[in-house]
Amino acid sequence: MSSKTNHLVTVLVVLFLIIPFVTSVDAESSHPHIVVIMVDDMGYGDPGSYNANSKIPMPHFDSLATDGMRFTDAHAPGPLCHLSRYGLLTGRYPFRAKPNQWRTQPTIAEKRMTIASLLKENGYQTAMVGKWHLGFAEDGYDKPLPGGPVDRGFQSYFGIRASTDIPPYFYIRGNRAVSPPTSRIDANNSPDWSPIQGAFWRAGGIAPDLQLKDVLPRFTDEAVEVIEQHAKSKTQKPLMLYLAYPAPHTPWLPSRKYLGSSKASMYGDFT
């Protein structure tokens, strides 16, 4: 992820969801529901709420700014996205850990407090959907993957280990691969873009049933399912959901619905 000053390294949106309770309000259920949405590599000037000349229509995003609170001063703790993720979840500077070991080992220490573990201890039901990028203890993909979200405070998880341009590509539910990356995908890039822009991804292992273009819609569906199931459960525990999209980081893979929807080419359509 770029650390240029005109880029928003992470966009963090905290929403208070209105999920009706049929039970009486007590000390536990009076806490607000929390949804943290993190996006990856989006430009500070992409949303119209931050740039009147934006070429990318984002009506839902902009409505959050209009109806809520807009922040204009934020700082990333490091030049790459896994460093920001570590800082967000732990409240610590990433140089205090070993963030670059994420490819084979967890970067968050086993008993390190996270926002998820803190909220769980205070009565929240915690869930994560999306890009983790903070490492698992990897020793093959046909066995549990320790050190991930469900071992760091989240009670449920569905997502991917890193970006959708970094193999191997496979979904994880809880601490296990939904389908191991037993197939292979060739590298790809887009003509007229730099080698690491456009529909760029690296060659490597991939789960047989995974399509990179389907990852974002799948995460949205999974997040909606988390919210709906929480509401149906009628639990008195408030919900904390961390939804970490791997976009608009490469590969830029806009769905057919959004092709031509912006004036910023395939990047804008994907964003």
How far apart CA 8 and CA 12 sit, in angstroms, is 10
For 81, list phi and psi in degrees, rounded to 5: -70, -30
Residue with the two structure tokens 């080992």 = 105
Q: How many CB atoms lie within 10 A of CB 212?
A: 18
The beta strands (E) that lie in 120-174 are given as: 125-131, 156-160, 172-173
Q: Residue 4: which residues within 8 A CB-CB, separation 6 or more?
A: none
Please say if 75 is a catalytic residue: no
d(CA 246, CA 241): 16
Q: How far is CA 222 from CA 107, 118, 134, 202, 226, in A?
A: 25, 23, 20, 25, 6
Q: Which of 7, 33, 82, 133 is catalytic?
A: 133
Q: Which of 7, 33, 60, 81 is catalytic?
A: 81
81 annotated active-site: yes
Contact assessment for residue 10 and residue 44, using Cβ atoms and an 8 Å cutoff: no
3-state helix, strand, coil in the chain (%, to 5): 25, 20, 55
Nearest to 193 by CA among 133, 252, 140, 241: 252
Catalytic residue numbers? Answer: 81, 133
